[in-house]
């Protein structure tokens, strides 16, 4: 059963997630707005971010287990491999493979837009790592 197939899932999307995306998009340049599309039992957010020098195209997937399980974000723009880049250019935001207790994702506190902001922070770290060779946030390891 997918996120869009349950009444609680639909209520969360309509009352929490959609308004959060609308607020994010409100005064943003059209090239940097989040677009939402249906993907199976979940949703895919597509967007561009420019943390510093470069523009990156990303997608964040809200799987059918969302919001209990963290969204998955991957960078579509080719990246140089780094210590925090997982298979398929998925970025390590929530300690993938962690348990619900050890993950930084908190379904009661965060929305899908938080995942976009976390991706921006990750990309800024990536650009700094590319320049210095050091990942600037040790707690992200």
Q: How are strands ordered across the β-sheet holding 56-62? A: 35-39, 42-49, 56-62, 72-75
DSSP codes of every residue in 35-78: EEEEETTEEEEEEEE-SSS--EEEEEEE-TTTTTSPPEEEE-S-
pLDDT digits (tens, 9 = 90+) for 59-112: 999 988 888 888 999 999 999 988 788 889 999 887 655 555 556 788 788 889
Residue 1 pLDDT > 70: no
pLDDT of residue 35: 96
What band does 2 get if pLDDT is binned at 50, 70 and 90?
A: low
21: CB partners within 8 A, 6+ apart: 34, 36, 45, 112, 113
Q: How many domains would you assign to the chain?
A: 1
CATH code of the domain containing 62: 3.10.110.10
The whole model's pTM is what? 0.86
Q: Which domain holds residue 114?
A: 3-140
């Amino acid at each position: 059963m997918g996120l869009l197939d349950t009444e609680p899932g639909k209520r969360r999307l309509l009352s929490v997630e959609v308004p959060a995306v609308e607020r994010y998009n409100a005064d943003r340049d059209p090239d940097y707005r989040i677009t939402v599309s249906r993907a199976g039992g979940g949703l895919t957010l597509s967007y561009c971010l420019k943390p510093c020098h470069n523009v990156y195209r990303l997608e964040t997937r809200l799987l059918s287990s969302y919001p209990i399980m963290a969204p998955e974000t991957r960078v579509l723009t080719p990246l140089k491999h780094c210590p925090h880049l997982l298979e398929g250019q998925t970025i390590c935001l929530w300690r993938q493979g962690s348990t619900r207790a050890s993950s930084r994702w908190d379904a009661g506190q965060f929305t899908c837009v938080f995942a976009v902001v976390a991706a921006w922070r990750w990309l800024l770290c990536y650009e700094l790592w590319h320049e210095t060779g050091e990942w600037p946030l040790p707690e992200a390891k």
